[in-house]
Amino acid sequence: MTDHEAAARTVVITGASGGIGRACAAAFAARGDRLALIARGRAGLDGAVHEAERAGAAKAIAIEADVADPDAVEAAARRAEEELGPIDVWVNDAFSSVFAPFTEITPEEFRRVTEVTYLGYVYATGAALRRMLPRDRGTLVHVGSAIAYRGIPLQSAYSGAKHAIQGWHEALRCELLATGTAVRTTMVQMPAVNTPQFDWVRSRLPERAQPVPPIYQPEVAARAVLYAADHPARREYWVGASTVATLLANAVAPGLLDRYLARTGFDSQQTGERRPADQPDNLDRPADADTDFGAHGRFDGKARARSRQQQAAHALGALAAAVARTTGRIVPAVRAARPGSAPRAAGAPVPVTPGPGA
């Protein structure tokens, strides 16, 4: 770990009261970072703060805000810097969704999902960049999904929003690279994760919703976000073998995948149990205002705590970085050791050996 990575940082996380955001808070806290945790639910936020403090956070504060409100997001960023110092890392994770066929989703519901899941990232990133760009430092990590590339049935609003994030992120990254700023943006494409969302997202399905197996624990996702925050030069990261397989299959044979999901995508997202009539609904109001759901959903018995693909990718990344550092030291030394060699001044012409017939 570099000195920069070891030093305590100011980290802002949206959607921090549950699921992946909650797990990210614990992961950054274990490093001793200062955390500003943003969400709508008071009980969930309080639980996240207490958990972060126990994990070792230098300081953690809870900020109640709806990311669909740009003024609220700006105020949250201002408070984060006033209480914790300049923002080093901003993690976008807040989202909402509706489990239903497209024809059963109202225009108002579609608008709300888009405002939270897509525009929430846009507003939050704008608030972060207004602070990072003048300082010429900072990292943005956007929690994505395999659904950012491959839409699935019963999640049309969420699929559309994630696709929008993907296109927007690519454009933003190009603009940042063009300016030469040291501010970086990266995206982490997630697999199915065991989070509380399947018990609080608005649903019109006859049965209880579930993530499409294989399912991973939110700590797997959090480790990927932490790694991306430490290594933000890559445009994106894929987490889990299922994500890799889905994105590659979609790139090679998207039409075939359409037909496969038409056959399997409805049953694979439902458990076979009847959906409770009183299931919580967090689309317009937080489901965790009075009850803390934590990071995990109800699939602990099925969820995987490790991803071999992730472990291999991180190991290869570390090896590549080590090789690059070693090469950077060896090559100049070898050149300097050559008989009669001397360093060439910057801008000096490169000698050209005449070819045959010159």
In degrees and rounded to multiples of 5, residue 80 shows phi and psi of: -55, -45
Percentage of residues of the chain with pLDDT beyond 70 = 86
Query: Which one of 121, 123, 149, 158 is the catalytic residue?
Result: 158
pLDDT of 192 > 80? The answer is: yes
The DSSP string of 106-126 is: -HHHHHHHHIIIIIHHHHHHH
* 121 included as an active-site residue: no
Q: Residue 321's pLDDT band (boundaries 50, 70, 90)?
A: low
- The ranges assigned to domains in the chain are 3-307
User: Is the model's pLDDT at 5 over the cut of 80?
Assistant: no
CA 323 to CA 307: how far, in whole Å? 24
* Burial class of 46 by CB neighbour count within 10 A (0 to 12, 13 to 18, 19+): middle
- The confidence band for 308, taking pLDDT boundaries of 50, 70 and 90, is confident
Contact 94, 51 (CB under 8 A): no
DSSP assignment letter at 343: P
d(CA 25, CA 132): 21
Tokens of 269: 């997202």
Round to whole Å and give the CA distance between 114 and 146: 17
pLDDT band at 315 (very low <50, low <70, confident <90, very high): low
Question: So what's the pLDDT on residue 317?
Answer: 63
Q: Look up the pTM and report it.
A: 0.86
Burial bucket for residue 249 (CB in 10 Å: 0-12, 13-18, 19+): middle
Q: How confident is the model at residue 358 (pLDDT cuts 50, 70, 90)?
A: very low
> Which burial class, exposed, middle or buried, applies to 31 when counting CB atoms under 10 A from its CB (0-12, 13-18, 19+)?
buried
Please name the residues in contact with 308: beta carbons below 8 A apart, sequence gap of 6 or more: 241
Nearest-angstrom CA–CA distance, 10 and 326? 31
pLDDT digits (tens, 9 = 90+) for 133-190: 999 999 999 999 999 999 999 999 999 999 999 999 999 999 999 999 999 999 999 9
Residue written as token pair 């030394």: 333
Angstrom distance (rounded) from CA 296 to CA 199: 11
Would you state the pLDDT for residue 309?
A: 79
One-letter amino acid of 27: A
Model pLDDT, residue 191: 97
Q: At what angle do helices 218-230 and 19-29 cross, to 10 degrees?
A: 60
Confidence check: pLDDT of 244 > 50: yes
User: What confidence tier does 113 reach under pLDDT thresholds 50, 70, 90?
Assistant: very high
For 333, residues 6+ apart whose C-beta sits below 8 A from its C-beta are none
pLDDT tens per residue, range 9-65: 999 999 999 999 999 999 999 999 999 999 999 999 999 999 999 999 999 999 999
More confident site: 315 or 72:
72
Asked if 164 and 146 count as a contact pair (C-beta separation under 8 A), the reply is no
Compute the chain's Rg from CA coordinates.
23
Confidence tier at 352 by pLDDT (50, 70, 90): very low
Is residue 343 predicted with pLDDT exceeding 50?
no
Query: Per 3-state DSSP, what percentage of the chain is helix, strand, and coil (rounded to 5)?
Result: 50, 15, 35
**Alpha helix segments (H runs only) across 56-155:** 70-84, 107-114, 120-135
Let me know: does 51 contact 76? Beta carbons within 8 Å: no
Q: Residue for token digits 């990254």?
A: 173
Nearest to 209 by CA among 152, 133, 284, 135: 152
pLDDT value for 347:
46
**Is there a contact between 45 and 51 (Cβ–Cβ < 8 Å)?**
no
pLDDT number for residue 329:
59
pLDDT at 330 over 80: no
Confidence of residue 1 (pLDDT cuts 50, 70, 90): very low
Q: Is the pLDDT of residue 331 over 60?
A: no
CA distance 297 to 27: 18
The tokens 């704008």 sit on which residue?
126
Q: Which residue did the predictor score with more confidence, 2 or 257? A: 257
Number of H helices and number of E strands within the chain?
12, 13
Mean pLDDT over residues 101-107, rounded?
98
Quick one: average pLDDT of 82-99? Answer: 98
CATH architecture of the domain 3-307 equals 3-Layer(aba) Sandwich (3.40)
**Mean pLDDT over all residues of the chain?**
90
Q: Give CA–CA dist 73/63, Å, rounded.
A: 10
